Amino acid sequence: MGSFIFRDMAKAWQGRACILCYHRIHPNSKFDKYTYPNGNIISESAFNDQMKLLSNEYDVISIDDMSNHLLSSSNDFKVAITFDDGYKDNLTIALPILKKYNIPATIYIVTRFPEGDTWMWWNEIWDCLINIKKLDICFMGKLKIYKIASINNKKKCFLELVKWILSLEVEDQKKLMTKISGNSKRRQYPELCLNWNDIKHLDSNRLITIGAHTHSHHQLKNLSYKRSFYEIKKSKEILEGKLSHKIGHFAYPFGGVNDFSKKDSRIVRLCGFDTAVTTIKKPINRYDRHSIPRILIQDYMSENGFKAVLSGWSNFLSSH
């Protein structure tokens, strides 16, 4: 009796669909989950195991089919796979696994990366912290001293700096990075990013849908209407120009409740996107096609944790 009660409780929180959000997939030989601070990198073997489970037990559909499903009256449970930012390993590691299990996926591209500006402040912050034991920052009237000899203290410092940098205007973000790094020249990460040839190759694959993720990956809520419109519209225009077809799907950078606003959702609609996805964790029931929930898949997630995401338990636990 108890197992039926728990199953029914989870079902109520499962919703009609689950959209999974990935970022980077790392080769097994180079993966160490204790090295990466934000948890958004998973191993090749974990990704393979997750795709195998999905192919055996769930109906995994494209973002176009997901949009149609959610507009329909069907209560069948569907799953969609998405990737944010546009990392090279989405092509070199993820795609072969997706092909192996015949699973469609959407890759949301930050267009300044293939256009040649591959600065990622989140990577640069970590690269600065990893080899030092203390960090002193005097910025905008604040003096902060971090003792970061241990990996755990480095991670705590990283998370605090991320919160700080997200609270700033774009130009002030760069000034803070100068203080953190001690260098006014921003680091570039071209080896991590898809280039236009890569993106065109992915776009030609029947399993892959290319979507937009703004031009510069700024937190939209902190931008003016004009700047937010520019970021959203420019990414769509660049992708459509390079790929010669409509780009109908969008992902909000960071994607949490504090990362975008109604202003930004209105702009997404105005720019002609069919769907827009968040990283807000809740059941997908009532359908707002420009604010669709997704669940981040992170390195700490066990096989049981992954199953909990799909069953609805993850939504239930996050709400209590």
Binned at pLDDT 50, 70 and 90, residue 190 comes out as very high
In the predicted structure, residue 318 carries a pLDDT above the cut 70? no
Query: What average pLDDT does this structure show over 78-106?
Result: 98
pLDDT of residue 10: 62
- Kindly state the percentage of the chain with pLDDT values over 90: 77
**Domain of 58, in residue numbers:** 2-117+190-318
Dump the DSSP string for the chain.
-HHHHHHHHHHHHH-SEEEEEE-EEE-GGG--TTT-SSS-EEEHHHHHHHHHHHHHHS-B--HHHHHHHHHSS----EEEEEEEE-BTHIIIIIHHHHHHHT--EEEEE-TTTTTT----HHHHHHHHHTT-SEEEEEETTEEEEEE--SHHHHHHHHHHHHHHHHTS-HHHHHHHHHHHHS-SSPP--GGGB--HHHHHHHHTSTTEEEEE--SS---GGGS-HHHHHHHHHHHHHHHHHHHSS---EEE-SS-STTT--HHHHHHHHHTT-SEEE----S---S--TTSB--EE--TT--HHHHHHHHHTHHHHHHT-
Residue-wise pLDDT tens digits, 264-274: 999 999 999 99
Cβ atoms within 10 A of the Cβ of 5, count? 9
Whether 227 and 110 map to the same domain: the answer is yes
pLDDT of residue 208: 98
Whether 54 and 149 map to the same domain: the answer is no
Whether 132 and 259 map to the same domain: the answer is no
Whether 92 and 194 map to the same domain: the answer is yes
Is 24:292 a contact under the CB 8 Å cutoff? no
The residue that leads in pLDDT, 289 or 79, is 79
In the predicted structure, residue 135 carries a pLDDT above the cut 90? yes
pLDDT of residue 156: 94
pLDDT of residue 5: 45
Is 143:126 a contact under the CB 8 Å cutoff? no
pLDDT of residue 213: 98
Whether 86 and 133 map to the same domain: the answer is no
User: Count of domains in the chain?
Assistant: 2
Q: Return the ∠ at Cα 220 (arms to 235 and 143), rounded to 5°.
A: 125
CA dist list (Å): 139 to 79, 122, 132, 161, 183? 45, 18, 19, 12, 14
Query: What average pLDDT does this structure show over 162-189?
Result: 92
- Kindly state the percentage of the chain with pLDDT values over 70: 92
Burial class (CB in 10 A: 0-12, 13-18, 19+), 144: middle
Whether 198 and 238 map to the same domain: the answer is yes
Residue-wise pLDDT tens digits, 72-90: 989 899 999 999 999 999 9
In the predicted structure, residue 277 carries a pLDDT above the cut 50? yes
Whether 34 and 170 map to the same domain: the answer is no
Domain end marker among 158, 181, 204: 181
pLDDT of residue 316: 63
Whether 163 and 195 map to the same domain: the answer is no
pLDDT of residue 249: 98
Whether 144 and 255 map to the same domain: the answer is no
Average pLDDT taken over every residue of the chain = 91
Whether 30 and 95 map to the same domain: the answer is yes
Query: What average pLDDT does this structure show over 207-230?
Result: 96
Residue-wise pLDDT tens digits, 113-127: 999 999 999 999 999
pLDDT of residue 143: 92
Binned at pLDDT 50, 70 and 90, residue 3 comes out as very low
pLDDT of residue 313: 64
pLDDT of residue 33: 59
Whether 196 and 309 map to the same domain: the answer is yes
Beta strands 134-139 and 142-147: pairing type? antiparallel
Whether 21 and 148 map to the same domain: the answer is no
Domain end marker among 130, 161, 181: 181
- Which residues, in sequence order, are CB contacts of 319 under 8 Å at separation 6+? 13, 282
CATH code for the domain in which residue 268 is found? 3.20.20.370
pLDDT of residue 1: 41
Domain end marker among 181, 208, 233: 181
Residue-wise pLDDT tens digits, 30-69: 766 556 677 789 999 999 999 999 999 999 999 999 999 9
Q: With CA atoms as reference, report the closest residue to 162 among 129, 131, 203.
A: 129
